[in-house]
Amino acid sequence: MPADESSTTPNEGASIYLDSAASTPLRPEAYRAMLPFLQTEFANPSAHHSAGRRASEALEDARHRVARVFNAEPEEVVFTSGGTESINAAIKGVAFAQRDAGGGHHILTTAVEHHAVLHSARFLERFGFEVEELPVDEYGRVSPEEVAAAVRRDTALVSVGYANNEVGTVQPIAAIAAAVAARATALGKRIPFHTDAVQAASSHPLDVQALGVDLLSLSGHKFGGPKGTGLLYMRRGIPFLELLSGGGQERQRRSGTENVPGNVGLAVALELAQADREGFTVRTSTLRDRLLAAIVEACPEAIVNGHPTERLPQALHICFSGLEGEALVDELDRLGIAASAGAACTSATWEPSHVLLAMGVPLELAIGSLRMSLWSTTTAEQVDHVAQVLPGAVSRVREAALPAPR
């Protein structure tokens, strides 16, 4: 962290940061809360001396704060190393426990989930599980009725993401969870419902009772918390087989010495994000729509992806024909603008977005995608500058992609 703790520029090489879907700056309040546990109160929270007890008390205070946000019990909150671990633990841990208890071997999800969900599900196929990926409409959505209709007597787990990490489409999670619960009741069994809520924490409610979910995954650095921190809400009584064995921390669900400073900062950041949901939504959606209108006017051939209304307020995903998204991202980076061509987690092995292809976007368009995601610190001047330089960047990248004349 820089000496100036109020700094909100995550990437010093970019003067305009439009990649909050990949990571966000650490909130100053979270940074200040973490400092004592990085410098003086550094003891292991499992230690039995007074310094260890102080660390343990700070950890449990963070757990209680998260539980209040979730409208859950503190013992239902599990601290993890990030969204990927939270998702893996939820899907694999519940699936194995369900199978061992006779709860079935069918895993139901959708074709547009984050790779942490899809790859976890595919991993389970090695152990005899059957994975079903439901198709989505042109906006990337599934209906509650479609999900419930696919639930079977041998369904062990259903996982549907709250908000898509690429196009920003928001699913009707409460309605889907209710439909799955009704179908499970009709079948005379309990079917755990998981949602990947990693992208939703800054703009959407996380009350697990209102949502009706049994498991919910979050990642700290997506809402102003520190990297390397995450959360898994696990409703009491849900079958679970721990993935990390050892000292039995986190009530036997996730062994390993807890990240006290990280979890303290995570709790503060989550409280602030949820308290400012409405303000964040108004600020970012206003600027996003301003940027979108300018881009569409200058580049009328641009294709906007995602649901027109049920989407994250900060998210803007556009496809341009005749170019590759990675080349456009590189050109924007040269201009001091940080954006992405898709999920940052998979950019090292870039390929056409599975999300766009599942939505029916043609391959030639899918490879020309650009994802821009705003943050609380994005300004109107920055948005206007991006709108001004983007058309030229698109033209230059297109020209460079044309085959050389013979």
Q: Return the domain boundaries, the chain.
A: 16-26+277-400, 28-275
3-class DSSP assignment, residue 319: strand
Cβ–Cβ contacts within 10 Å for residue 182, how many? 13
Q: What is the pLDDT of residue 351?
A: 73
Q: In the chain, what's the furthest Cα-to-Cα distance?
A: 78
Q: What is the pLDDT of residue 131?
A: 98
DSSP 321: T
DSSP string computed for 210-266:
HHT-SEEEEEGGGTT--TT-EEEEE-TT-----SS-SS-HHHHTS-S---HHHHHHH
pLDDT-based confidence at residue 352 (cuts at 50, 70, 90)? confident
**Which residues share a beta bridge with 194?**
159, 215
CATH of domain 28-275: 3.40.640.10
Q: What is the pLDDT of residue 406?
A: 57
CA distance 231 to 208: 13
Cβ–Cβ contacts within 10 Å for residue 306, how many? 25
Q: What is the pLDDT of residue 402?
A: 72
Q: Is 8 a residue whose pLDDT tops 70? A: no
- Comparing CA positions, the residue from 142, 150, 85 lying closest to residue 116 is 85
CA distance 106 to 114: 19
Q: What is the pLDDT of residue 284?
A: 98
CATH of domain 16-26+277-400: 3.90.1150.10
More confident residue, 402 or 370: 370
Mean pLDDT for 328-334 is: 97
pLDDT-based confidence at residue 401 (cuts at 50, 70, 90)? confident
Q: Can you read off the two tokens belonging to residue 308?
A: 């027109």
Point out the catalytic residue in the list 1, 101, 293, 345. Answer: 345
What percentage of residues in the chain have a pLDDT greater than 90? 92
Q: Is 130 a residue whose pLDDT tops 80? A: yes
The mean pLDDT value of the chain amounts to 93
CA distance 211 to 165: 19
Report the length, in residues, of the chain: 406
Cβ(273)–Cβ(223) below 8 Å: yes
pLDDT-based confidence at residue 350 (cuts at 50, 70, 90)? low
3-class DSSP assignment, residue 64: helix
Cβ(184)–Cβ(151) below 8 Å: yes
What percentage of residues in the chain have a pLDDT greater than 70? 93
Beta-carbon contacts of 316 under 8 Å, excluding residues fewer than 6 positions away, are 168, 288, 291, 292, 304, 371, 372, 373, 374
Q: Is 347 a residue whose pLDDT tops 60? A: no
CA distance 352 to 126: 26
Q: Is 167 a residue whose pLDDT tops 70? A: yes
pLDDT-based confidence at residue 404 (cuts at 50, 70, 90)? low
pLDDT digits (tens, 9 = 90+) for 195-231: 999 999 999 999 999 999 999 999 999 999 999 999 9
Phi, psi dihedrals of residue 311, rounded to the nearest 5°:
-150, 165
CA distance 343 to 61: 33
CA distance 203 to 168: 11
CA dihedral defined by 339, 344, 346, 349, rounded to 10 degrees? 50
pLDDT-based confidence at residue 7 (cuts at 50, 70, 90)? very low
Return the CA Rg of the chain: 22
pLDDT digits (tens, 9 = 90+) for 246-276: 999 998 899 999 999 999 999 999 999 999 9
Q: What is the pLDDT of residue 246?
A: 94
325-334 and 380-401 helices, crossing angle to 10° = 130
CA distance 131 to 308: 30
Q: What is the pLDDT of residue 405?
A: 58
Look-up of token digits 């990390």? 244
Mean pLDDT for 23-52 is: 96
Q: What is the pLDDT of residue 343?
A: 52
Cβ–Cβ contacts within 10 Å for residue 71, how many? 14
Mean pLDDT for 112-138 is: 98
DSSP string computed for 36-55:
HHHHT----TT-SSHHHHHH
CA distance 285 to 298: 20
The answer to whether residue 299 is catalytic is no
